Amino acid sequence: MPPRARDKQKAPAPQPPPPSLEDLFASLNRHIERSEFEEAVRVADQVLSISRGDEDAIRCKVVALVKADDVDGALSTIRSSKSPPADFRFFEAYCLYRQNKLDEALQSLKSQERSSATMLLESQILFRLNKMDACIDIYQNLPKPKIESVEVNSVAGLVAAGRASEVKRMMDKLGVKANNSFELAYNSACSLIELNKYTDAEQLLLVARRIGQETMVSDNFPEDEIENELAPISVQLAYVQQLLGHKQEAIEAYTDIIKQDLADELSLAVAVNNLIALRGPRDVSDGLRKFDRLREKDKQNFHLAPGVDLKLFSKQRESIYVNRVLLLLHANKMDQARELVAALPDMFPDSVTPALLQAAVFVRENKAGKAEDILGQFSEKFPDKSKVVLLARAQVAAAAGHPHIAAESLAKIPDIQHMPATVATLVSLKERAGDIDGAAAVLDAAINWWSNAMTEDNKLTVLMQEAASFKLRHGREEDAARLYEELVKSHGSVEALVGLVTTVARVDVKKAEAYEKKLKPLPGLKAVDVNSLEKTSGAKHDEGISHVRITETYEEGKSKAKSKKKRKRKPKYPKGFDPANPGPPPDPERWLPKRERSSYRPKRKDKRAAQVRGSQGSVARDKHEAGATSNTSNSKSNQTTTSKGASQNAVAEPSKPSSSKSRKKSRN
C-alpha cells in the first residue's frame, strides 16, 4: 500500500491584539467603582505584565486586595516590588495592623512623614495596644476639619483609658452633642456606664438605636445589614439590664442576639460570654456549645477564630478563656481544662489570671500543695502583681489545713497588714498553728501602727480591746492589765474598766479595789447592803401563799403546754387488716435460725444400725439390758443436750441483731 500523503497543517488563528494600557486602566477604574475587587486585581496583573513596575497598577492592586480582605496578598505585592514609593510603606503598615502585628506596624509608621493618615493609623494602633493616653494625645492634635468623626474616636479612647469623666468636657469643647450620630450616642452611653449612671446610659442607648435605624433606612440599607450595624447597641442594652439587676431580661436579650446568628462576630462573642457569666454553672454543656461557635475550626484545642481574636481587646479575650476554663472545671473535663490553662501564660504574659487558673485546676484535683507552690513562685517573680495571688494562696492553704503557709502569705501583703480583718485572720491562723507568740506580735505591731496613724477612722480602741482579751485568754495577765489600763486612761471605756478590774484582781487585789471604786453603781442596788448580803447563808424557802401561787402558776403552764400538744391521729393499718380481729401474734423467734428455735428437733439416726445379731435368748436378754442401759444413756444424753442447747443459746444471744443475709436463711 502506498504511503498516505501528509495532511496540510492548519494555519493558527490570528491572535487578537493585546489591549492597550488606556483600555486596561479604564477597565480597572470601572471594576473599582463597581467594587469588583477581584476583577480589579486580575486587570492590574494584566497591566503589570505589559508594564512592569507600574506604580499606579501596583497601587490599584494593593488597594483592591485590601478591599477584598486579602491582606496577605497585598503585603506580598508590596514587598515583591523592587523600590516601593513612600506611600506604599503606609499600606505596608496598614496591612501589618490588619494582621495584628501591631508593634511592627508602629515601627513602620515611625519612619514615614507625619500626616493626617499616618496619625490616624497610629492612633488606631495605639488604641489596639491599650495605650489610650498616647492615642488620645494624637486625636487631640489631629486637624479636625479634615478628619470625619474624630469626636467618635476621641470619646472611645477616653472611655477605654478609664477617663470617662472627661467625655462631657471634651464634647463641649468640640461643640458636639451625643445625638449627632448613633456612633457618638453609643460611645457616650458607654462613658455613662463607666460612671455607674446605668439608667441614663439605657436611655441614650435607645436614642442611639433609633437614630441608627432612621439613618440606615433612609440610606436604603438591607435589613440584615441594619441588624449587624446595630448589634453592639443591642448587646450593650442587655449589659445595662444585667447591671440594673434585671437578670431575666438580660438573659432573654442575650439569647435573642445569639439566635439571630449575626455576621458581627464581635457582638456575638460578647453576648455569648456575658450570657455564660450571668448563668454561672447552670447548663454547662450548653455554655460549652455556645463557646464552640467562637473557636477556630481547624485547631484541635480551643482557640478563638481570627476574626474574633483580632477585634477583641486583651481583657475581653482573657475573659472568654477564663469562663471557658471555669465551665470545663464544672463539667469535670480536667484534661481539656489542663491543656487550655497551660496555653494561657503565653497568650497573656502580663496577667495574673493564668496562675490563678492553674492553682484552681490543682485544687480541683486535690493537689493543694502544688497550687500553693505555683502561686508562691508567681508572687516572687512578679512582686508588683502579687497581692491577688498571695490572697488566693492564703485561702488555698487555710482550706487545706496549712495555717502557717496561709499566715505567711498574708504577712507578705504590706498595704493590708494592719487592717482589723487581716489582723484577726492572722491571729486566728497563728493560733491554729500553735504560734501564740507570733499572734501576740501581730497584735502588738497593729497597735503600734494605729497609735501613729493620723486617720479619722482609727481602729486603735478595737484592737487594744481584742489584744487584751487575747492575752488574758492565754494567761498573760500583766500584758492584758497594761492594755486595759491604757484604754481606761486614754478613752475612759467602761468595758475596759470592767476588764481591768477582772484582770488585776488576779494579780493585785488592792489595785483592783481602787479601780473598782470608779465603777458607777447600778441604779437599782442603792438600798442593798452588799456586806450583809455576803454574810447571809442564801435565800430561804418561804412556804405559804407564794408557794401556792408558784404551784398554781406551774400547773397552769403545764396545762397550757398539754393543751398545745397535737391530738394523736389514728394509726394507719395495712389494707385488709382488722384491728379488732388481728389473728394469731407473729412468732417471736421468726428471725432466729432454725437450729436456735425452741421448736427445733434434730433428725433421728437410723435405729436399725444398732440391732444385735445372735440367738433368741441372748437377744431378749440383751434387749432388756440394752433398755436399761438406753434409759440411763438417754437421761445422760438429755442432760448433755440441754446443757449444749443452753450453751448454744448463750453463745447465740448476742447475735440477735443479725444481718439481712441470716434473715434470708431463716426464712428458708
pLDDT at 6 over 60: no
pLDDT in tens, 331-381: 999 999 999 999 999 888 889 999 999 999 999 999 999 999 999 999 999
State the pTM of this model: 0.64
- Of 76-80, 204-208, 539-543, the poorest mean pLDDT is in 539-543
- Of 29-43, 267-281, 287-301, 472-486, the poorest mean pLDDT is in 472-486
**Measuring CA to CA, how many Å separate 599 from each of 275, 595, 596?**
74, 9, 9
Cα separation of 167 and 188, whole Å?
A: 7
**Measuring CA to CA, how many Å separate 301 from each of 298, 304, 317, 444?**
9, 10, 16, 53
| Mean pLDDT along residues 143-164 | 75
The SS3 call for residue 104 is helix
pLDDT of residue 363: 93
What's CA 634's distance to the chain center, in Å? 84
Which residues, 6+ apart, have CB-to-CB distance to 380 below 8 Å? 386
More confident residue, 611 or 576: 576
Do 77 and 69 touch, CB atoms closer than 8 A?
A: no
| Mean pLDDT along residues 112-132 | 83
pLDDT at 318 over 80: yes
DSSP state of 333: -
**Residues for the chain: how many in total?**
668
| Mean pLDDT along residues 71-96 | 80
pLDDT of residue 86: 57
In terms of Cβ atoms closer than 10 Å to its own Cβ (0-12, 13-18, 19+), residue 271 is: buried
Mean pLDDT over the full length of the chain = 78
pLDDT of residue 667: 39
Do 181 and 152 touch, CB atoms closer than 8 A?
A: yes
- Of 348-352, 392-396, 548-552, 628-632, the poorest mean pLDDT is in 628-632
pLDDT in tens, 616-625: 544 444 444 4
pLDDT in tens, 462-498: 888 788 888 878 878 777 777 777 777 666 666 666 6
Q: What is the dihedral of CA 485, 490, 496, 499, to 10 degrees?
A: 0
Owner of C-alpha cell 453576648: 271
pLDDT at 395 over 90: yes
pLDDT at 146 over 70: no
More confident residue, 518 or 33: 33
pLDDT in tens, 586-644: 788 888 888 888 888 887 766 665 555 555 544 444 444 444 444 444 443 443 333 33
pLDDT in tens, 417-474: 889 899 999 999 999 999 999 999 999 898 888 888 767 667 887 888 788 888 878 8
pLDDT at 516 over 70: no
In terms of Cβ atoms closer than 10 Å to its own Cβ (0-12, 13-18, 19+), residue 213 is: middle
DSSP state of 195: T
pLDDT of residue 393: 95
Which residues, 6+ apart, have CB-to-CB distance to 455 below 8 Å? none
The grid coordinates of residue 84 equal 516601593
Do 186 and 159 touch, CB atoms closer than 8 A?
A: no
User: Where residue 668 falls among pLDDT bands split at 50, 70, 90?
Assistant: very low
pLDDT of residue 13: 53
Cα separation of 274 and 278, whole Å?
A: 6
- Of 8-22, 112-126, 378-392, 527-541, the poorest mean pLDDT is in 8-22
User: Where residue 646 falls among pLDDT bands split at 50, 70, 90?
Assistant: very low
- Rg of the chain, C-alpha, whole Å: 47
Phi first, then psi: what are they for 130, rounded to 5°?
Answer: 65, 25
pLDDT of residue 552: 55
Distance spanning both ends of the chain, measured CA to CA: 112
Do 318 and 283 touch, CB atoms closer than 8 A?
A: no
The grid coordinates of residue 234 equal 443591642
Cα separation of 570 and 578, whole Å?
A: 14
What's CA 220's distance to the chain center, in Å? 46
**DSSP letter string over 124-141?**
HHHHHTT-HHHHHHHHHH
The SS3 call for residue 304 is strand
The grid coordinates of residue 389 equal 495571688
Longest CA pairwise span in the chain (Å): 163
The grid coordinates of residue 527 equal 438600798
User: Where residue 518 falls among pLDDT bands split at 50, 70, 90?
Assistant: low
pLDDT in tens, 490-510: 666 666 666 666 676 666 666
pLDDT of residue 654: 35
In terms of Cβ atoms closer than 10 Å to its own Cβ (0-12, 13-18, 19+), residue 210 is: middle
Cα separation of 607 and 610, whole Å?
A: 6
**Measuring CA to CA, how many Å separate 565 from each of 554, 560, 562, 568?**
17, 9, 5, 9
DSSP state of 295: B
| Mean pLDDT along residues 214-218 | 90
Owner of C-alpha cell 444398732: 610
pLDDT of residue 335: 92
pLDDT of residue 122: 86
pLDDT of residue 92: 87
User: Where residue 206 falls among pLDDT bands split at 50, 70, 90?
Assistant: very high
Do 224 and 191 touch, CB atoms closer than 8 A?
A: no
Percent of the chain with pLDDT over 90: 26
pLDDT of residue 119: 85
* Max mean pLDDT range (303-307, 392-396, 466-470, 609-613): 392-396
- Of 1-15, 53-67, 112-126, the poorest mean pLDDT is in 1-15
Which amino acid is it at 457?
Answer: D
- Of 28-37, 138-147, 222-231, 644-653, the poorest mean pLDDT is in 644-653
| Mean pLDDT along residues 573-583 | 79
Cα separation of 514 and 124, whole Å?
A: 78
pLDDT of residue 483: 78
Angle (deg, nearest 10), helices 167-174 and 150-160: 160
Cα separation of 411 and 442, whole Å?
A: 9
Q: How many CB atoms lie within 10 A of CB 194?
A: 16
